[in-house]
Amino acid sequence: MFSRFIDTSYAPVVRSNIDRLVWARLVSNSCYRFAPPFIAVIARGLDVSVGQMGVAFMVGEFAGLLSPIIGRFIDRGNRLISMMMGIALITISIVVAATAQNLVVFAAAMFLLSAAKVLFDTALIVWVNDHVPYDRRGRIVGVIETSWALSLFIGVAIMGLATALISWRAGFIVGAIAMMFTGALLAAGLPRHDAHAPVTEHARGKVPANAWFVFACSFMLMGASQCVSITFGPWFEDEFNFTSGGLIAIVIVLGVFELASSIGSSRVTDGWGKEVSVRRGVIMMVIAGVAMSAGSHISVIAIPMLVLFIAGFEFALVSMLPLAANLVPTAGGIGLGLTVGAGTCGRAVFSTVATSLYDSVGPIGPTIAGTALAALTVLAITAYARSAR
C-alpha cells in the first residue's frame, strides 16, 4: 500500500519493507496514544481525578530520560533485535495497564510503555538512516509518520470503540493483541543480515552545541501538543457534553488532518528544508492556539482550531525527525535519542501542568500554555537555523 509512494531510486530493502514499518508504527502509536483522549474515562475507572491521572502520565513520560542510553545501545547493536525488544515491552506494558487496579500500577505501565516506545521508534528510524541518504530521508520519514495520524483514526478509534462498548480495559487488550501480531509480522519480514550497525559507523559521536536548540524545540513542541491533547477529552465532555462516541468522532477527524500533514511533510520537507518546515508547522499551531484560547467556550471555534493545532504539530514533528537523526551524523541514535528524550520530558512536565491547569481554571489554562510553548518553539528553531548557517 505505502510502497507505491516510494520510487525505484530507493534501496529495494526499503521499498519491500515500508508497509511493514508503517504498520508497526501504526499499532505502537495506537497503544501509546489511546489513553490521553479517554483520560476522564480511565480516571473514573480507577476512582481518581483528572489531575491525578496527569501525574501518572507525567511519571510515564519521564521514561524519556532513558533516551540517550537507549540511543547508544541501538547505535552499537542490531536494529531488528532492538525493534523486537521494543514491541515485546510495549505489549507487556499494555497488558499491565489493562489489568491495573490502582494509579500506581497504571503509572508504572505508562513508564514502561514510554521507554519501550522510545526503544522501538529510535531503532526504526536508525534502520532507515542506514539505508537512506540524509537529503532523501524526509520523504521516507514522512511516509512512515503517516502512521501517527492513521493510529488516531484507525487504531485509537477501534480501541475507543471497544471502550465505548465494553470498557477502557478492553481497549488496551485490543492494542496488546495487535502488538503481538505486529511483532510476528516484522520478525518474518525484515532481513537479518543488514540489521547491524554499518561497519563504518562510530557510535561515539560528539553532540554539536547548536543541537540544544533542537532539543529545546522537541521539549516545547511535545509539551505544547500534550497540553491540548491530554485535556480536550474532559474539556469537550464538560463544556460541550461529548460522550465517548463523540470523542471517537473527534479522534477520527484529528487523524484525517494529521494524515494530510504527514503526507504534506513527506512531499515538501526535503524541498523547503527541515528547519523551514518545522517553523511553518509551529506557526500554524500558534495561530490556531490563539483562536482556540479566545473561543474555548464556543464549539464552532474550539473544535476546528483544535484540529488545526494538532495538524500543525504533526507537520512540524515529521519535519523535525530527519533533522534530529542527523545531528550526530556518525551516530544517528544519539541525536535522535536525545531529541526524543527531550520531547518525552516535555510531555511528562506538561502532562501534570496541563491537567492541574484544567482542574484549576478550565480549558483556557492548558490552551494558553500550549500556545505559548508553540511560540517559543518558533524562536528556538529559528535560532538553530541561523546557527547552522
pLDDT score recorded for residue 311: 92
Predicted local confidence at residue 331, as pLDDT = 63
The pLDDT, as a whole number, for residue 69 is 81
Q: Residues near 152 by Cβ (< 8 Å), separated by ≥ 6?
A: 29, 30, 33, 251, 252, 254, 255, 258
Determine the distance from the C-alpha atom of residue 24 to the mean position of all C-alpha atoms in its chain, rounded to a whole number. Answer: 14
Q: Specify the range with the lowest mean pLDDT, choosing from 28-37, 74-83, 311-320, 361-370.
A: 74-83
Q: How many domains is the chain built from?
A: 1
Q: Tens of pLDDT along 110-164? A: 999 988 998 998 888 888 878 787 667 777 877 887 887 788 778 888 998 999 8
Q: State the chain's mean pLDDT as an integer.
A: 85
Which of 53-67, 101-115, 205-219, 237-251 is least confident? 53-67
Mean pLDDT confidence for 354-361: 88
SS (HEC) of 128-187 = HHHHCCHHHHHHHHHHHCHHHHHHHHHHHHHHHHHHHHCCHHHHHHHHHHHHHHHHHHHH
Name the residue with higher pLDDT: 237 or 176: 176
Domain carrying residue 52: 14-188+208-388
Torsion of CA 25, 171, 250, 359, to 10 degrees: -110
Among residues 226, 211, 209, 223, the alpha carbon closest in space to that of 336 is found at: 211
Give which of 16, 32, 39 is closest to 344, Cα–Cα. 32
Residue type at 157 in one-letter notation: A
User: What gap in Å lies between CA 369 and CA 103, rounded to an integer?
Assistant: 26
Percent of the chain with pLDDT over 70: 93
Q: How confident is the model at residue 200 (pLDDT cuts 50, 70, 90)?
A: very low
What are the cell numbers at 58? 507525567
For residue 2, being part of any structural domain is answered with no
In a domain, 8, yes or no: no
Residue 102 three-state SS: coil
Q: Which of 229-243, 273-287, 291-305, 360-374 has the lowest mean pLDDT?
A: 229-243
pLDDT given for residue 201 in this prediction: 47
Q: In this structure, what DSSP letter does residue 64 have?
A: G
| Model pLDDT for residues 246-263, shown as the tens digit of each residue | 888 888 888 888 888 877
The verdict on residue 145 lying in a domain is: yes
pLDDT of residue 204: 53
Tell me the CA end-to-end span of the chain in Å, nearest whole number.
Answer: 38
Residue 305 has pLDDT above 90, yes or no: yes
CATH number at residue 234: 1.20.1250.20
Mean pLDDT computed over 27-42: 89
Q: What is the DSSP string of 360-374?
A: HH-THHHHHHHHHHH
Over residues 168-192, mean pLDDT: 89
Q: Which is higher by pLDDT, 203 or 327?
A: 327
Q: Phi then psi for 206, rounded to 5 degrees?
A: -90, 130
Residue 366 belongs to a domain: yes
Residue 200, in any domain of the structure: no
